Amino acid sequence: MAMDLAASIRDKIRSGVLPLPPEPPEKYFAGKGTGQLCDVCEQAITAEHLEFELDVGGRTHRFHEKCLDMWRQARGCADERVIRLP
């Protein structure tokens, strides 16, 4: 499943569906899931899970905890690529 999520994140970043801001968002909000869809896996974030929200580029993005962690990892990989450029 992790590989599927990683591939989904890469595809969504490439297509512009998910942002890849140069700096991490300053604020994250977390609370009980409200049934909204996760921007990574497109599954409902139910009350049994934490829902993480962050605002990037004028849009609110919602994530499950695992999906948010994987998006953060994708951001980190992109940062490393940028740093390594001459």
Domain boundaries, the chain: 2-77
> What does the pLDDT read at residue 52?
95
- Let me know if domain 2-77 sits in CATH 3.30.200: no
Q: Which residues pair with 50 in a beta bridge?
A: 32
Token pair for residue 78?
């992109």
Q: At what angle do helices 2-15 and 65-84 cross, to 10 degrees?
A: 60
Q: Which residues pair with 59 in a beta bridge?
A: 56
> What does the pLDDT read at residue 60?
94
- What is the full per-residue pLDDT of the chain (86 aa) written as tens digits? 567 888 899 899 999 899 888 787 888 899 999 999 999 999 999 999 999 999 988 899 999 999 999 998 887 765 433 333 33
> Which run of H or E residues covers position 60?
strand 59-63
What is d(CA 60, CA 79) in angstroms, rounded to the nearest whole number?
Answer: 22
